[in-house]
Amino acid sequence: MSLVTVGTVAFDAIQTPFASSGKIVGGAASYIGLSASQFAKEQHIISVIGDDFPQSFIAELESRGVNTEGLECRKGEKSFFWEGKYHMDMNSRDTLTTDLNVLADFKPVVPESAKQSDYVMLGNLDPNVQASVLDQMAKRPKLVVLDTMNFWMDIALEPLKAVLQRIDVLTINDEEARQLSGEYSLVKAAQKILTMGPSTLVIKKGEHGALLFNQDEVFFAPALPLEEVLDPTGAGDSFAGGFIGYLAHTDDTSFANMKRAVVLGSALASFTCEQFGTERLLSLTQGELDERIQRFVDLVDFDIVLKG
């Protein structure tokens, strides 16, 4: 089934204690699109770029079945730019620069060809912008996944709460789940968030894996223990892309299938961490992905015969 993603397509510059990336392609929709393309054969990306953005990356997306009709290119303007510096733990980071540029007045326009899509991925953006994409859909999509962050909880909590009422799956990290719910226990946080709109919640715990909750069930997918994390930027978006890309491809939103989607998303996120930016997703082969998925299977595989 067709997938529509709204999110940034942009430039990043990343510093880690070990290396610097220089100015490279980044943005939530870039990662989501590449990651989803492992599964989804038909997808649209809705975003905005300046004329400084490399045409070669757009061509790469298109070669992977991404329709870029909804990717607005503004002549004489600059693409969104984010610069950040990771701490020694490669987990926490400081923002050094945020140049909104074209993003400052981004009003996504959903092209006619995308309005019937059954799967919608709302990448991390102003919740009003996320809502405007849903407003333009011709019908209620089968599945809407929303990613957000603490920044929007701080400055746009009411619009965020409003758009949560219109989605199916929320993906946030553990600290954000605590902030949104006011509960420290992630189990209690999940219970509360599941009364706020979404029927399914993914709590991303970075190197500690991800939890998938619905009203009745819980599933845990570990993160693969990695020898080296070069750059975790985009891991969450790669996860989201793999997650919704697999659901759209299989057109199955059951909990059992979402569990598979969480594992596949985790596998794709683990690749993204291995190199700067989108590099690793661009070079990824089907064989490498299969081998990685097998490692996830093996990582948690055990058999126990209960006495009872």
What is the binding site for a second copy (CB under 8 A)?
Answer: 88-90, 184-188, 205, 208-209, 211, 217-222, 225-229, 256, 259-260, 262-264, 286-287, 290-291, 293-294, 297-304, 306-308
Q: In whole angstroms, how close is the CB of 227 to a second copy at the nearest point?
A: 4
Q: Which is nearer to a second copy, 62 or 288 (CB)?
A: 288
Name the nearest CA neighbour of 170 among 244, 102, 103. Answer: 244
Q: How far is the CB of 298 from a second copy (least distance, A)?
A: 8
- Shorter beta-carbon distance to a second copy: residue 81 or 246: 246
Q: Do residues 230 and 16 touch, judged by C-beta distance below 8 A?
A: yes
Q: 128 or 150: whose CB is closer to a second copy? A: 150
Look at strands 3-6 and 43-50 and give their pairing: parallel
Specify the residue, 137 or 293, whose C-beta has the smaller distance to a second copy: 293
Choose between 136 and 250: whose C-beta lies nearer to a second copy.
250
Give whichever of 160 and 273 is closer to a second copy, judged by the CB atom: 273
In terms of phi and psi (left: phi > 0; alpha: psi -120 to 50; beta: otherwise), the region of 76 is left
How wide is the angle at C-alpha 128 spanned by C-alphas 124 and 133, nearest 5°? Answer: 80
- Decide if 147 contacts 240 (C-beta within 8 A): yes
For residue 232, report the phi and psi dihedrals to the nearest 5 degrees: -80, 0
Q: Token pair for residue 294?
A: 């097998």
- The least CB distance from residue 283 to a second copy, in Å, is 17
Min separation Cβ 226 and a second copy, Å? 6
Burial of 92 (0-12, 13-18, 19+ CB in 10 A): exposed
The CB-of-171 to a second copy minimum distance in angstroms stands at: 17
Nearest to 167 by CA among 190, 206, 138, 193: 193
Least distance in angstroms from the C-beta of 42 to a second copy: 18
